Amino acid sequence: MSKHDSARRAFLVRAAAGAGAVAGAGLLPDASGQNRGERHEAPAQLHSRGGAFFNQEDAATIAAFTERLMPGAAGKPGAREAGVLRYIDLALAGAYADLQDFYRRSLRQLDVYCRKTYQESFRRLDAARQDEVITALERDQVTGFTWPSGLEFFNIIRTHTMEGLFADPIYGGNQNFAGWRLVGFPGAQSIFTPADMRSRQAFTREPIIGLEASDESAKGRA
């Protein structure tokens, strides 16, 4: 993993730890229903014809983009392993449906910019060029973006990437509690021991419990 990738991962992890409530479902609306530099095709996380909202091509673009925002490494899950694509896809089909046109227009403008600048779609660029595009978006230096602006698109997709990494798995992301394990968030534990309450170390004891398991447990006691 390059220093650039490590710094990007560290930023998102620190941001999530500092605003730890992102892992709490109360801040999110109700849900409905590799190798770096590789060329991303249809992600296995979604149906071969697309997902709940994304078609095959847009899903591949979002998978590539979010993986560059939060790249994975050996023993360190990234956006792909955490299921960020699935989270965003489900959110846009439900709770974030008002952002569907925002994403459609942004992805169309992104494709036009990449084809004009690099003669290739974003999802087929190598990691270095994908990073160049993302940096230009962050600095609002891309050409051809009207509404949304490149910076607006970058900010929204980074926010949704963090949500997909660190929100409760019931929303479709944070698969196998990958994001929570990164920041030591314990989930909805029924009991914390006195040692847990005194500890300043990241929580590592199994199990880490999400809302779905907690809800099923409550039904079982009813």
pLDDT tens by residue, 42-51:
455 565 455 7
Alpha carbon distance 174, 167 (integer Å): 6
Q: Are residues 137 and 210 in the same domain?
A: no
What's the first-to-final CA gap in the chain, in angstroms? Answer: 49
Q: Are residues 170 and 204 in the same domain?
A: no
Structure tokens belonging to residue 198: 């005194």
Is the predicted pLDDT of residue 207 greater than 90, yes or no?
Answer: no
Is the predicted pLDDT of residue 169 greater than 70, yes or no?
Answer: yes
**Mean per-residue pLDDT over the chain, rounded:** 81
pLDDT at 17: 53
8-state DSSP, 36 = T
- 84-119 pLDDT per residue, tens: 999 999 999 999 999 999 999 999 999 999 999 999
Residue 80 contacts residue 34 (beta carbons within 8 Å):
yes
Please give the residue that has the higher pLDDT: either 199 or 89. 89
Q: Are residues 165 and 219 in the same domain?
A: no
Q: Are residues 194 and 130 in the same domain?
A: no
pLDDT at 191: 75
Q: How many residues does the structure list for the chain?
A: 222
pLDDT at 31: 41
Q: Are residues 61 and 126 in the same domain?
A: yes
Q: Please list, in sequence order, all residues whose beta carbon lies within 8 angstroms of the beta carbon of residue 17, skipping any fewer than 6 positions away.
A: 183, 184
Q: Are residues 157 and 193 in the same domain?
A: no
Q: What angle do CA 121, 48, 81 make, to 5 degrees?
A: 75
Q: How confident is the model at residue 36 (pLDDT cuts 50, 70, 90)?
A: very low
**Rg of the chain's alpha carbons, rounded to an integer?**
18
Q: Are residues 111 and 196 in the same domain?
A: no
pLDDT at 26: 40
Q: Are residues 65 and 97 in the same domain?
A: yes
Q: Which amino acid is at 63?
A: A
Q: Model-level pTM greater than 0.95?
A: no
Please give the residue that has the higher pLDDT: either 216 or 193. 193
Please list the residues that pair with 47 across neighbouring strands: 50
> For the chain, how many structural domains are there in total?
2
Calculate mean pLDDT across residues 46-64.
Answer: 84
Calculate mean pLDDT across residues 202-214.
Answer: 71
pLDDT at 145: 96
Residue 189 contacts residue 197 (beta carbons within 8 Å):
no
Q: Is 184 exposed, middle or buried (0-12, 13-18, 19+ CB in 10 A)?
A: middle
Is the predicted pLDDT of residue 32 greater than 50, yes or no?
Answer: no
Q: Are residues 172 and 196 in the same domain?
A: no
Task: Note down the domain range covering 30.
Answer: 3-183
Q: Are residues 195 and 174 in the same domain?
A: no
Alpha carbon distance 15, 200 (integer Å): 18
Q: Are residues 124 and 218 in the same domain?
A: no
Residue whose tokens read 């509690």: 177
Q: Are residues 107 and 13 in the same domain?
A: yes
